[in-house]
Structure 1
């Protein structure tokens, strides 16, 4: 029996709860839903998940997430809110994926858009180079180098070598002169006639 002045018993959780813990149902004699709000949510969620599974959709298991945390659907890890970027598009004000996963996705998108290669292609190229920069032989190659005229990917270079090629505008002649200069051969024009000089090649 229900005493609507105080509340009613929920047949699911077997608890007596105040009226405010029940939804409204005009078809019910007492005008309240059969189950309390909490049990209603659980039952509706279970029903929805069962329908999705019958329809052939993958349904992720429900995971209890503590306050101040969120579960990332990409890496499936529960992380504190500090590990997420803010987003006004999401109901909780946080991006759908965590910072780490968004970084991976962003890199994959960049590789595909700019170089037409996948992360697997990138790693295969690194393996072919034995994990070193082909110019300075350092063990931290991270930057994809490409021909700016043809767009052809050449190798994965370290930051310094990639930046240096860019500063030299990919000019082999300038690079050769730079190497000669560093080796101690000072660049000097040669006087071939009065007022006429020949520049070193």
Structure 2
């Protein structure tokens, strides 16, 4: 392994020492990273390592997009492409939650329980994200709706007024009203 002093000397001469094979080679034999620095591994060692990874099957570069989609459906949800298409047909190619079809070029996403891995339905991307957020933050959402479901306690809107026509109440709040649930209340002296 090259020492730090040797590496500095090599760099100043336009040479670098590969950290894998310990050979000193011209700087051109080392890839330039996006940050402008040269790689610490020579191109020969890098290519050899990539070849081994491809042969081991860790990377599936020979897969077509359809094969990749089928593999992911099976690995993540234990669904075959035929089962997925049957679900799409049964739902009329519409989101099970909002009833809209997926945008052109997109397909519905599989909604599943992250605990049991059971497939529930096919959703559009927005609904799938919303369901996932609600699952993780159900208590906070329920607490927020209980506190602000009828409107903010400091904002008074007269019946029959349009949006934007409101006043801020001047009455002080009691307890934890109007504050986020995690914020502590100050004790009055």
Q: TM-score, normalised by structure 1?
A: 0.39
* Structure with the higher strand share, 1 or 2: 1
- Give me the TM-score of the superposition, normalised by structure 2: 0.41
Bigger RCO of structures 1 and 2 (CA < 8 A, at least 6 apart): 2
